[in-house]
Amino acid sequence: MSPMARTAPVPAATDPAIIRNFCIIAHIDHGKSTLADRMLQYTGVVQSRDMKAQYLDRMDIERERGITIKSQAVRMPWERDGVSYALNMIDTPGHVDFTYEVSRSLAACEGAVLLVDAAQGIEAQTLANLYLAMENNLTIIPVLNKIDLPAAQPEKYAAELASLIGGDPEDVLRVSGKTGAGVEALLDKIVHDLPAPQGDPNAPARAMIFDSVYDTYRGVVTYVRVVDGMLHPRERIQMMSTRATHELLEIGVSSPEPTPSKGLGVGEVGYLITGVKDVRQSKVGDTVTNLAKPASESLPGYADAKPMVFSGLYPLDGADYPVLRDALEKLMLNDAALVYEPETSAALGFGFRVGFLGLLHLEITRERLEREYNLALISTAPNVEYEVTLEDKKVVQVTNPSEYPTGKVAEVREPMVSATILAPNEFVGAIMELCQSRRGVLGGMDYLSEDRVEIRYRLPLAEIVFDFFDILKSKTRGYGSLDWKADGEQAADLVKVDIMLQGEQVDAFSAITHRDKAYAYGVMMTGKLRELIPRQQFEVPIQAAIGSRIIARESIRAIRKDVLAKCYGGDITRKRKLLEKQKEGKKRMKMVGTVEVPQEAFIAALTTDESKDKAKKK
């Protein structure tokens, strides 16, 4: 066993040969952050008394939900055979919505610790993240975690892992992030197995931006991995894509607190502060170089995260619109994956159409807006983006059903995904049935082991992004796991369903669905609204329509009694208080034509069961 390093290598003066850059990747919840905790502790960068579980999950939302949302990089010293090494560890998120976080972390590393819960085995994101790591030519260290659990089956899963990546089951390390067992051996193995970073110390500086975060006190903090050359404080740097130049006010490493250094050299991972206020000026994937001695070629970047799901966000109180606008602007500083533009809804007033990576991303963003900016929000039913071609060949991108063109439509295309589902083989039938009902096309099926299969489907994104995972979980008694990635688009028989109250279309309730599902949507929504909208002084017809064709209808009967008919004697105060309460209630109504619709009805109608809390895991 190696002892804790007596002296830590100094940044800017560290030989690349003693640097090891790795990330921890795994399926959600397999224990990445807990393992990272032990590493922080055993390498001495966090004292035991300061330790708390999932130390690197710092956002309130991360801590409450027990999941990692943002990757975190930390520099740790580790001594082996009398040599002090500098390890840069990146803890990554496991949820599929944040896969893009994983892929950019990979670009900063030579190796990956592939962690597998020894009680769960290989799951869909295990495969997806492994695939990404291999694509980046990383050296993989397979590790079984949670071996302290009574339900752990290390032999079985070691064999599975070995057959997956090649090698001997004996080489699969067994650790417990909880008890710390095997963690020191893992650190040793990282030093031993992973290649040192390669780079030319004398070439013009090139550093890859793999994260960019807005901090209220320090402005934008840019995380980089230096590939060639060296960066120093106070020198002028240039962003190679935009040619924008900045002065390097501070440069340093996270250990895990930010620690300024004299610079960063080949293979080192650290942060830069330039005083810019907008993360977009420090774009993830861009290359930083030295203005005085610029590099001629930038490093291969990676694609921007592409929003997959769109939803309208509206303040409950119209007066909060400016607050929402400022809040989105600030959140965006920290979350380059967030895109938005203003939109108006006849029913909901002024708001924004916001693009998200997935439902969890939507939910977390909404929660942060509500919590950190004290807003009460309505979010409209989420939808994917459609491409509508009109007969006159005009093409319209539709991120909001109410923007669906009214002219003659020649074709509608919808985004597709390729999905990988892992489950015990007894559930194959149920899974195929589910995917078929979601318009999926089987791509293939493989046995990972005797009783575990990998099933691949191509499916419309709209069919999987909402309730698919919950249904999959329940159909596989919790054993099924899912990973998906974007995979082009296809033309489909899609229609827009409108909902009308009293003949007046309510834009917030419009939806684009497959023709076969339009009727079900119409029946569901009209039924829901009938329950949710209080009776009015007149009868209110509720209709669902495709174009001018009505496909479902309900009606709310006129209210006949709205009067307090009881003897209250002289207690006029009570009667007046009741009236005041009624009037308050009326203020919280939104008018749709002449129909008073309580805000709660909007919220309830737009809260699909899927989006309620399901994306939460705890």
Partner 1 sequence: MPSVLPLGDPAPSDGLLPAQAAAGAADRAFGLYVHIPFCAVRCGYCDFNTYTATELGGGASQDAYAGTAVSEVDLAARVLTASGLPDRPLSTVFFGGGTPTLLPAEDLALILRAAISTWGIEDGAEVTTEANPDSVTPESLAVLKAAGFTRVSFGMQSAVPHVLKVLDRTHSPARVPQVVRWAREAGLAVSLDLIYGTPGESLDDWRLSLETALSYEPDHISAYALIVEDGTKLAAQIRRGQVPGIDDDDHAAKYELADQLITAAGLGWYEVSNWARTPEQACRHNLAYWRGDDWWGIGPGAHSHVGGVRWWNVKHPTAYAGRLGQGVSPAAGRETLDAETRNVERVMLAARLSGGLRIDSLGDAGRRQVAGLIADSLVEPTAAFRGTLVLTLKGRLLADAVVRRILPD
Ligand X SMILES: Nc1nc2c(ncn2[C@@H]2O[C@H](COP(=O)(O)OP(=O)(O)OP(=O)(O)O)[C@@H](O)[C@H]2O)c(=O)[nH]1
Q: For binding to partner 1 (CB under 8 A), which residues are involved?
A: 537-538, 557, 559-577, 579, 582-583, 586-587
Based on the shown chain and the rule CB under 6 A, indicate whether residue 393 belongs to the binding site for ligand SAM: no
Q: Which one of ligand X, ligand SAM, Mg ion, none is in contact with 177 (Cβ closer than 5 to 8 A by kind)?
A: ligand X
- Closer of 34 and 274 to ligand X (Cβ): 34
Positions in 54-83 near Mg ion (CB under 5 A): 68
Shortest approach of ligand SAM to residue 563 CB, angstroms? 13
Q: Which one of partner 1, ligand X, Mg ion, none is in contact with 63 (Cβ closer than 5 to 8 A by kind)?
A: none
Q: Which one of ligand X, ligand SAM, partner 1, none is in contact with 537 (Cβ closer than 5 to 8 A by kind)?
A: partner 1
Nearest to 148 by CA among 113, 187, 177: 177
- Closer of 566 and 583 to ligand SAM (Cβ): 566
Shortest approach of partner 1 to residue 576 CB, angstroms? 6
- Closer of 1 and 567 to ligand SAM (Cβ): 567
Answer for the pair 348, 590: CB distance below 8 angstroms, yes or no: yes
Q: Which one of ligand X, ligand SAM, Mg ion, none is in contact with 566 (Cβ closer than 5 to 8 A by kind)?
A: ligand SAM
- DSSP run (H or E) holding 584: helix 572-587
Shortest approach of ligand X to residue 469 CB, angstroms? 15
Based on the shown chain and the rule CB under 6 A, indicate whether residue 567 belongs to the binding site for ligand SAM: yes
Q: Which one of Mg ion, ligand SAM, ligand X, none is in contact with 567 (Cβ closer than 5 to 8 A by kind)?
A: ligand SAM
Based on the shown chain and the rule CB under 5 A, indicate whether residue 289 belongs to the binding site for Mg ion: no
Rounded Cα gap, residues 154 and 170, in angstroms: 11
At residue 507, what are phi and psi to the nearest 5 degrees?
A: -60, -35
Question: Beta-carbon neighbour count of residue 197 at 10 Å?
Answer: 22
Nearest to 362 by CA among 394, 344, 388, 335: 335
Based on the shown chain and the rule CB under 6 A, indicate whether residue 563 belongs to the binding site for ligand SAM: no
Beta strand 173-174 pairing with 139-145: parallel
- DSSP run (H or E) holding 448: strand 441-449
The secondary structure of 451-510 as a DSSP string is TEEEEEEEEEHHHHTTTHHHHHHHHTTT--EEEEEEEEEEE--EEEEEEEETTEE-GGG-
- Closer of 245 and 594 to partner 1 (Cβ): 594
3-state SS of 330-390? Answer: HHHHHCCCCEEEEEEECCCEEEEEEEECCHHHHHHHHHHHHHHCCCCEEECCCECCEEEEE
Rounded Cα gap, residues 487 and 414, in angstroms: 11
Shortest approach of partner 1 to residue 318 CB, angstroms? 15
Shortest approach of ligand X to residue 618 CB, angstroms? 8
Exposure b/e, 296-311, CB count within 10 A at least 16 = b: eebbebbeebebbbbb
Rounded Cα gap, residues 52 and 63, in angstroms: 11
- Closer of 166 and 570 to ligand SAM (Cβ): 570
Rounded Cα gap, residues 207 and 270, in angstroms: 10
Shortest approach of Mg ion to residue 68 CB, angstroms? 3
Shortest approach of ligand SAM to residue 571 CB, angstroms? 11
Nearest to 245 by CA among 291, 182, 298: 291
Rounded Cα gap, residues 604 and 459, in angstroms: 28
Based on the shown chain and the rule CB under 5 A, indicate whether residue 311 belongs to the binding site for Mg ion: no
Helix (H) and strand (E) counts for the chain?
15, 31
Shortest approach of ligand X to residue 113 CB, angstroms? 11
Residues in binding contact with Mg ion, number by CB under 5 A: 3
Rounded Cα gap, residues 18 and 147, in angstroms: 30
Structure tokens at 208: 């890859």
Q: Which one of ligand X, ligand SAM, partner 1, none is in contact with 582 (Cβ closer than 5 to 8 A by kind)?
A: partner 1
Rounded Cα gap, residues 247 and 281, in angstroms: 13
Residues in binding contact with ligand SAM, number by CB under 6 A: 2
For CA atoms 325, 326, 327, 333, the dihedral sign is: positive
Rounded Cα gap, residues 409 and 251, in angstroms: 55
Positions in the binding site for ligand X (CB under 6 A): 26, 28-34, 54, 66-68, 93-94, 145-146, 148-149, 176-178
Shortest approach of ligand SAM to residue 574 CB, angstroms? 13
Nearest to 197 by CA among 138, 135, 140, 142: 138
- Closer of 21 and 129 to ligand X (Cβ): 129
Contact string (CB under 5 A) for Mg ion, positions 559-588, x = contact: ------------------------------
Based on the shown chain and the rule CB under 6 A, indicate whether residue 151 belongs to the binding site for ligand SAM: no
Question: Beta-carbon neighbour count of residue 293 at 10 Å?
Answer: 11
Q: Which one of partner 1, ligand SAM, Mg ion, none is in contact with 68 (Cβ closer than 5 to 8 A by kind)?
A: Mg ion
Answer for the pair 355, 340: CB distance below 8 angstroms, yes or no: yes
- Closer of 577 and 588 to ligand SAM (Cβ): 577
- Closer of 418 and 536 to partner 1 (Cβ): 536
- Closer of 67 and 240 to ligand X (Cβ): 67
Shortest approach of partner 1 to residue 58 CB, angstroms? 44
Based on the shown chain and the rule CB under 6 A, indicate whether residue 561 belongs to the binding site for ligand SAM: no
Q: Which one of ligand X, Mg ion, ligand SAM, none is in contact with 176 (Cβ closer than 5 to 8 A by kind)?
A: ligand X
Q: Which one of ligand SAM, ligand X, partner 1, none is in contact with 353 (Cβ closer than 5 to 8 A by kind)?
A: none
Positions in 20-39 near Mg ion (CB under 5 A): 32-33
Shortest approach of partner 1 to residue 594 CB, angstroms? 10
Q: Which one of partner 1, Mg ion, ligand SAM, none is in contact with 32 (Cβ closer than 5 to 8 A by kind)?
A: Mg ion
Shortest approach of partner 1 to residue 585 CB, angstroms? 9
What is the distance between the terminal CA atoms of the chain, rounded to a whole angstrom? 37
Is 525 buried (19+), middle (13-18) or exposed (0-12) by CB count in 10 A?
buried
Shortest approach of partner 1 to residue 597 CB, angstroms? 16
Q: Distances in Å between the alpha carbon of 380 and those of 304, 348, 353, 602?
A: 25, 9, 9, 9
Q: Which of 566, 583, 587, 618 binds ligand SAM (CB under 6 A)?
A: 566
- Closer of 17 and 564 to ligand SAM (Cβ): 564
Contacts with ligand SAM by CB under 6 A lie at 566-567
Contacts with Mg ion by CB under 5 A lie at 32-33, 68
